Structure 1
Amino acid sequence: MDNPYKIGIIGGTGKVGRHIATNAIQKGYKVRMLVRNPEKLLCKNDKIEIVEGQIQDIENIRELLKDCKIVINTFGQPTKEEPMYSKVTKNILEVMKDLNISRYIGVSGGSLTINDDKKSFLNRFGAKMFELSFPKMMVDKKLEWEILFNNKHIHWTLIRLPFVKDSLKSNYIKESLTDMPGTKITNQDIATFIIDHIDNPKYIHKAPFISH
């Protein structure tokens, strides 16, 4: 069944992004992806429109998102580069506002802790260790969260993930707004969850944890 909505995907060549594109097409959505190296694209499909460019370039983001109704951001930080999650998200939201796009779904790690969390001791310990091991990245991730939290014009959802397992297998997805309910999830199930929540208002302006 064809869907009139077009989805702009950032991070489409990553572990999760390629499954999102495939799932979206299967559900009838149109898909456009921003890709730095098109030759690295594993999910080659005639129904996927490609914009070649850099996520750091706001004009490339603008080209990606023109006539889109939904934005899905699974951007993965390039190794050895300064953290840029907050800058990327800020630019995306600015372009979305300019183009009158309201729906945004992004992903972050389960180590991100926000005010209403009630994490178990083990998960609090894990988050603290992550902050000590990757201090710059965690500061940037927290800033990304604050940018989203303070933006009430966009219908955003930020999904917090545990360890991501590369698998096509599906399992029951556990959800929580206060603590990570498990230790892992497949990229296939992340993609399914994201596509299923495009039109679902349950987690608008919220940051759910999901896992198996």
Structure 2
Amino acid sequence: MKLLLLGATGRVGSHILTHALQDGHHVTTLVRSPEKLAHKQDDNLRVLTGNVLHPADVLQAIKGADAVISTLGTDGSTTLSEGTPHIIHAMNHEGIKRIITVGTAGILQSRAEPELLRYQSSESKRKLTRAAEEHHKAFTLLEQSGLDWTIVCPTYLPDGEQVGSYRVEADFLPENGTEISVPDTAAFTYSLIASEQYMRSRVGIAY
């Protein structure tokens, strides 16, 4: 499969890149700082220097892809909400339907107040909601896009180790879930490229 991986230099993205290359997929990455990539040399890796905020860069990167995986974070900026429309446009332009992204548990439905998202409800312990608001904007854009999207929504995300055993639930955080490691989040996210499960839904993930 030919994949476009966005956010490949990040914590989750770097693990997904490892999985994809180990399985023989052809991966294109669009990165601002290629020197930060964990994999410098691989025959199946195409590294483009660019920015998701530049529509031409996204269009160039996405050509020939079968699916898109995005682990773009918020890191104090509006890159996620501003870049998502460019990704959606490029996918529509190239006729690509499948996109899997990594969000946050804050944009899952609240169990206590189901009409609200978790970050809007009493379930949230975070006083700052800026990151969740960014993810909410990206969720809304994908929901309206007509694409075959899935948003993986981890709770507290320590580096940790790959345990291989965790709980997932569509649209909600598994009950009493408090954390999930970066490697397990990456492994689950990567597994969705070979699955039609959780199509057009958010997925909570926790131990």
- TM-score, length of structure 2 as denominator length: 0.87
Tell me the secondary structure at the aligned position of residue 197 of structure 1.
Answer: helix
Contact 2:52 2:86 in 1 (8 A): no
- Counterpart amino acid of 1:67? G
Kept after mapping to 1: 8 A contact 2:52/2:79? no
Within 2, Cα distance between the matches of 1:30 and 1:119?
Answer: 43
Offset, 1:38: 1.0
Shift of 1:107: 1.0
Q: Which residue of 1 aligns with 2:81?
A: 86
1:174 and 1:120, CA in 2 relative to 1: closer, same or farther beyond 3 A? Answer: farther
Alignment gaps of 5+ in structure 2: none
How far, CA to CA, are the matches of 1:171 and 1:194 in structure 2?
Answer: 12
- SS at 2:180's partner residue? strand
- Give the 4+ runs in structure 1 shifted more than 6 A: none
In the TM superposition, what whole-angstrom CA distance separates every residue of 1:125-151 from its partner, at most 9, and x where no partner exists? Answer: 343x43x413x4333322211111122
1:6 and 2:34 correspond: no
Matching residue of 2:47 = 50
Q: Does 1:143 align with 2:140?
A: no
Question: What is the rounded CA distance, in whole Å, between the counterparts of 1:75 and 1:140 in structure 2?
Answer: 11
Pairs within 5 Å for 1:14-33: 14-33=10-29
Q: Which amino acid aligns with 2:180?
A: I
Within 1, Cα distance between the matches of 2:99 and 2:19? 17
TM-score, scaled relative to structure 1: 0.85
Q: Structure 1's 34 and 110: CA in aligned 2 closer, same or farther, altered over 3 A?
A: same
CA offsets 1:129-177 (integer angstroms, 9 cap, x no match): 43x413x43333222111111222x111011111112134323120112
Secondary structure (helix, strand or coil) at the match of 1:185 reads coil
1:207 to partner: Cα distance: 0.4
CA apart distance, 1:178: 4.1
Asked whether the equivalents of residues 108 and 172 of structure 2 are also in contact (C-alpha less than 8 Å), the reply is no
Q: 1:159 pairs with 140, 152, 155, which one?
A: 152
For 1:101, give the aligned amino acid.
I
Please tell me whether the aligned partners of residues 102 and 189 of structure 2 are also in contact (alpha carbons under 8 angstroms): no
What does 1:178-189 align with in structure 2 at a 5 Å threshold?
178-181=171-174, 182-189=177-184
What is the letter of the counterpart of residue 163 of structure 1? Y
**Is 1:190 aligned to residue 185 of structure 2?**
yes
CA-CA distance at 1:120 after TM superposition: 8.4
* Structure 1 unpaired stretches of 5+: none
Matched with 2:164 is 171
In the alignment, the residues of structure 1 paired with residue 40 and residue 161 of structure 2 have an alpha-carbon distance, to the nearest angstrom, of: 17
